[in-house]
Amino acid sequence: MWKFLANVWGLARPYRARLVLGVAAGVLAGLIEPLMIATVTFVYGLVFPSANAGSVANQLAWAPGWLKDWLVSAEQALAAGLRGNAWAVAALLATIPTVMFLRGLFGYLNAYFLQWTAVRAIADLRVKLFAHLLNLSSSFFDRATSGELISRVMNDTAALQHVIGNITGVIVKDPVTLASLLAYLLWQQPKITLISMVVLPVCMVPVAIFSRKIRRSSRAAQTHVAELSGLMGEAFAGNRIVKAYNLEPRLIDQFRTTARKFVTQYMRIVRSGEIPGPLLEFVGAISVALVLLWLAFGHSPRPNSSDFLAVVLAIFSMYRPLKNLTRLHNQLEQARASSQRVFELLAMQSTLAEPSQPVPLKAAGAEIEFDHVEFAYNEKPVLKDITLRIVPGQLVAVVGASGSGKTSLANLLMRFYDPQRGAVRIGGVDLRNVTMRDLRSQIAVVTQEAVLFNDTIRRNIALGRPGATDEEIEAAARHAHAHDFIMAKPGGYEAVVGQAGVTLSGGERQRIAIARAVLKNAPILILDEATSALDSESERAVQAALDDLMQGRTTICIAHRLSTIHKADMIVVLHEGRIVETGTHQQLLAQGGTYKKLHDLQMPSGK
């Protein structure tokens, strides 16, 4: 547990000054608790003196001389008559609100500084975790779900914020409060204090029992929260399919079932967290009853009314910090269960290592080479002994049946993955010796599903080259045959495209993506079935934009529609992860092999 706390408090290291101030304020607030009781009972004893009460001088033998002299004078003034010494009475009674004010002030500063530290530390953690996740390899995202990752970044880190902002205050303030109250009790009435503490060990039994239950239920509850987030993400992203197939009842039932599982685990946490509190109060009442029983039947002299009032107030004042501390372990178990995955994600290393001594890459005019490359997804072979050379400036088309490995070639070139054997080189440089940022800055990609962000058209295009001028962005849009339809939109380039570009048609989204690639002006271009999802009219517009984009670049075109690659300088045919044919369109038709069969399936007339 201390290791977990050390990890959490380590997050607040950049804000340690305010963390220390919050801790110091908590300590002072804890020390003021017995001072408040002592002040109330002392003033009560002066205003309503009992027969067996000692003099102020005897009670405050430890106090400084000036304070003792002033209180003795106040006692004498009170004895002489309250009305005649109104100012003395007012000054004496003012000590109670003064102590209460100081208690509230330090309590506020304790909460403020700890919450100030917590919210900033967790904001930093979320940024760090988000950046870390974005830099993990594609293989990680093949296994993870977006809903689960969002839950880890937002929900689980909130538990850590609770540790810094709230639990730290309990750890600091409440033990100080208990210790100071106990010391005050032992100083005032040691026998009565020891009698009242006899039943205290009984309180620890329910804490130990229920903490184990909370640990298990917290982990299960966080898992269900992640499942709910994942289900919502899938349902919202695929809302059209959900509606088209009338999947709403099924998804609602699935969501309801998972929500009920979460409720079950959450209520177990509530029961386990709340039961120790009433038990503690019951045990505290027993301790007070024991004290009264001892006073009623014992033979020792009874304390005066103010001393006994101090004992009762102190015992009941211990309930709140004791209840907080009994819940503390349970809350820490919940936080540890929630944050376990956060620290696991932070500790996770990318399977793609950056080179220790990177080599600069110059992709312009450089040859691309796949040298005996073998690659597998989760031990399932996808590419087998791929050897391919692409001359600078060539348009190379890669075709084949679904699952033949076409997209995997592009993924290896972008270094989303590393091959298990062989090497991928550009200009004779192994991509594993080049930084990923350097490599990807020299490759532009247009995919089948154009990825647009919920922002303006201008900013979506500008992602190709941040810092580009408005004139350069509009020039790129013209090259992509997108300027006219953009200007027809309300707001033009400032029109917001919506989530995933929902306000645009498929052809419009593709041309925005092409404009982004034009603006990037990279020497290597990857087209991953960029027109396969479009209708014929949209395809003609997008294909015209692609023809302009491919000029002067080395282009790898992954194609499903063979009609789009007749002009390719070289066509590479893949079958079950192997290159089975290479050549031009006419050469491959003449060979009568796999390409001819694919061509005839799409164009039975032989056109």
Of the chain, the percentage scoring pLDDT greater than 90 comes to 16
- Please, which residues bridge with residue 583 across strands? 571
Place of tokens 């700890």: 114
CA-closest candidate to residue 154, choices 332, 350, 15, 342: 342
Q: How confident is the model at residue 537 (pLDDT cuts 50, 70, 90)?
A: low
Q: According to the model, what pLDDT value does residue 282 have?
A: 75
**pLDDT given for residue 203 in this prediction:** 63
Average pLDDT over residues 395-422: 89
- Is 426 a residue whose pLDDT tops 50? yes
Strands 554-558 and 395-400, by their bridges, are parallel
| CA dist list (Å): 477 to 195, 288, 447, 461, 550 | 85, 82, 17, 8, 15
pLDDT digits (tens, 9 = 90+) for 133-142: 888 888 888 7
- The CATH fold assigned to 368-602 is Rossmann fold (3.40.50)
Indicate the average pLDDT of the chain.
Answer: 80
Residue type, 25: A
Q: Which residue has the higher pLDDT, 245 or 161?
A: 161
* pLDDT at site 268: 81
pLDDT of residue 572: 93
Which of 13-27, 41-55, 295-309, 355-369 bottoms out in mean pLDDT, i.e. has the lowest?
41-55
Give the rounded distance of the alpha carbon of 328 from its chain centre: 23
Q: What does the pLDDT average to over 411-435?
A: 92
For residue 555, what is the enclosing H or E element? strand 554-558
The stretch 387-393 carries a mean pLDDT of 92
pLDDT of residue 589 exceeding 80: yes
What confidence tens digit (pLDDT) does each residue in 330-356 have? 677 777 777 777 888 888 888 888 888
The secondary element (H helix, E strand) that includes residue 507 is: helix 506-520
Q: What is the pLDDT of residues 29-69, one digit of tens each?
A: 888 887 887 777 777 766 666 544 444 445 555 555 555 55
DSSP for residue 431: G
* 386-404 mean pLDDT: 89
User: How far apart (Å, rounded) are the C-alpha atoms in residues 583 and 595?
Assistant: 10
Of the candidate ranges 47-56, 227-236, 452-461, the one whose mean pLDDT is the lowest:
47-56
Residues 190-218 have pLDDT tens digits of 777 777 676 666 666 666 666 666 667 77
Least confident stretch, 173-187, 514-528, 569-583: 173-187
Per-residue confidence (pLDDT) for residue 535, from 0 to 100: 61
What are the boundaries of each domain within the chain? 10-346, 368-602
pLDDT at 151 over 50: yes
How far from each other are the two terminal CA atoms of the chain, in whole angstroms?
Answer: 73
pLDDT in the model for residue 37: 79
Q: Which of 82-96, 108-122, 268-282, 353-367 has the lowest mean pLDDT?
A: 82-96
**Residue 141 has what pLDDT?**
81
pLDDT at res. 607 = 47
3-state secondary structure of 330: helix
Q: What is the mean pLDDT of residues 515-543?
A: 77
594 within 8 A of 573, measured Cβ to Cβ: yes
For 269-284, write each residue's pLDDT tens digit. Answer: 777 767 766 776 677 6
pLDDT band at 223; cut points 50, 70, 90: confident
Encode pLDDT of 240-267 as tens digits.
Answer: 667 766 778 888 898 899 889 888 888 8
Instruction: Assign 388 to helix, strand or coil.
Output: strand
Q: Provide φ and ψ at 399, rounded to 5°.
A: -130, 165
CA 371 centroid distance within chain = 41
User: What pLDDT is recorded for position 51?
Assistant: 44
Is domain 10-346 given the CATH code 3.30.930.10 in the classification?
no
pTM of the model: 0.72
Instruction: Considering only CA atoms, give the Rg of the chain.
Output: 37
Question: What integer pLDDT is reported at residue 52 of this predicted model?
Answer: 45
DSSP alpha helices (H): ranges in 238-304?
239-244, 248-274, 276-297
Rounded to an integer, the average pLDDT of 427-444 is: 91
- With bands split at pLDDT 50, 70 and 90, how would you rate the model's confidence at 89? low
Q: Is residue 370's pLDDT more than 90? A: yes
Q: Tell whether the model's pLDDT for residue 299 goes beyond 70.
A: no
